Amino acid sequence: MAEDLSERTGYAEFYNGGTYHRKVKILDSTLREGEQHPGISFTERQRVQIGWLLDYLGVDSIEISPIVSESHRQSCRSLMKAGLRALIVAHGRALKEDIDVALTCDAQFYAMYHSVSDIHLKYKLKVSREEALRRTLEAVDYAKSHGLATRVTMEDASRADPTYVREFARALYEARVDRISVPDTVGALKPSGMYRLVASVREVAPVPIDAHCHNDLGLALANALAAYEAGADQIHVTVGGIGERVGITDLAQLVTSLYFLYGVELDVKYSILPEVYKTVEQYTGISMSENAPIVGRNAYRHKAGTHIAAVLNSPSAYELVPPEMVGAKRRIVFSELLGKNGARFLLNVLGIKADDELAKSVAQGFKNLQLGDLFELELDQEIERRLMSSS
């Protein structure tokens, strides 16, 4: 894909400080974090179908919690049996009883979480720092002795004492966990803060790091990218960014940013993103905002006359992301902003040979009508062909 990147990014790379190219894994948590979104509950069949779609899209891991209910446990079991390429990650507490449930699903990989911030230890769990670490290590041992690969999430790491976070991470490394997840559980970090958190954990624990960024201040994507820059090996996302409260990093935004900002070539089928989003939208009843980057209705809609004219010349003028790459369509909105060139385009599409005079008077007509957006046209190949042959 990378060959036409600079055509779209120009000299942006200069300001972005060069590209990285380093690959990073994508963990989709639509079935775990996503189901914590207010109002969302999938059926077993929907979970399996979403899992199948995500696998086909190309995510590396699919996270699900078998602990929540019998139906979640069954869904987890079905996903294990589905023969997917993606790793199925069973998520639960750092507790024997939760690990036992994961084992009944034939889980191979168990991701356990335990809080590490004083705020959580005091108000949520009422345990000391020592006890928190002891319990977690005990659970790691238990999971490992049952043949499970393990990840430990240091929940609320971003608000925890940095010295304790490092001690905790070091102990996990020494206990040979396979991964450590570093979450910004309440979205309390800015990108440089997330960078420092990941870097500081990596310094003491040379194991693959997952980054999990909440969007409470709207920084989930920026923080995930900072975590990537700091060396995170896997980033957590959900379809539409759904999750507890206002959710986490959005899948489409992350994979597309990795490509355009860093030149990372993931094994992701970008063109089926709309299919994945539509399915999840249908099952959640929550529609994506028109303004959602990449998958929103407005992402490739051009309206101002000057934009329309430039885009018809070369879409790169006003598009970073080519819509065809992500399975979307470019659209032209006809309104009083359409201008002479937009009017000429419209007349061409209608098969009317337009001279300057006619184009101008049609543009004026649109202004006089004062009806806002009158209609829009999807630019398909037939229209583009007609346009080319008439210009």
Which residues of the chain form contacts with ligand HCA (CB under 6 A)?
33, 36, 111, 113, 153, 155, 181, 183, 185, 210, 212, 214, 236, 244
| Strand 61-64, strand 87-93: pairing | parallel
Q: Is the dihedral of CA 7, 9, 15, 18 positive or negative?
A: negative
Q: Which is nearer to ligand HCA, 230 or 311 (CB)?
A: 230
Residue 365: in which H helix or E strand, if any?
A: helix 356-369
The answer to whether 34 and 214 are in contact (CB under 8 A) is: no
Smallest gap from residue 194 Cβ to ligand HCA (A): 13
Smallest gap from residue 362 Cβ to ligand HCA (A): 54
Smallest gap from residue 85 Cβ to ligand HCA (A): 22
| Strand 109-115, strand 149-155: pairing | parallel
Q: Which is nearer to ligand HCA, 202 or 212 (CB)?
A: 212
Smallest gap from residue 387 Cβ to ligand HCA (A): 49
Q: What are the Cα distances from residue 173, in Å, to 167, 206, 281, 300, 339?
A: 10, 7, 39, 46, 63
Q: Which residues on neighbouring strands pair with residue 179, listed in sequence order?
A: 151
Cα–Cα distance between 215 and 224 in angstroms, integer? 10
Q: Which is nearer to ligand HCA, 111 or 326 (CB)?
A: 111
Smallest gap from residue 305 Cβ to ligand HCA (A): 46
**Three-class DSSP category at 156:** coil
Question: Which of the listed partners (Cu ion, ligand HCA, none) does 47 bind, with a CB threshold of 5 to 8 Å by partner kind?
Answer: none
Smallest gap from residue 253 Cβ to ligand HCA (A): 18
Q: Which is nearer to ligand HCA, 179 or 302 (CB)?
A: 179
Smallest gap from residue 123 Cβ to Cu ion (A): 17
Which residue's Cβ has the minimum distance to Cu ion? 33
Cα–Cα distance between 252 and 205 in angstroms, integer? 30
Amino acid at 348: N
Q: Which is nearer to ligand HCA, 110 or 300 (CB)?
A: 110
Cα–Cα distance between 207 and 180 in angstroms, integer? 7
Q: Which is nearer to ligand HCA, 236 or 340 (CB)?
A: 236
Question: Which of the listed partners (Cu ion, ligand HCA, none) does 155 bind, with a CB threshold of 5 to 8 Å by partner kind?
Answer: ligand HCA
Tokens matching residue 41: 């509950």
Site string for Cu ion, 16-55 (x = CB under 5 A): -----------------x----------------------
Q: Which is nearer to ligand HCA, 243 or 323 (CB)?
A: 243
Length of the chain in residues, anyone? Answer: 391
Nearest to 280 by CA among 316, 242, 245: 242
Report the interface residues with Cu ion, using CB under 5 A.
33
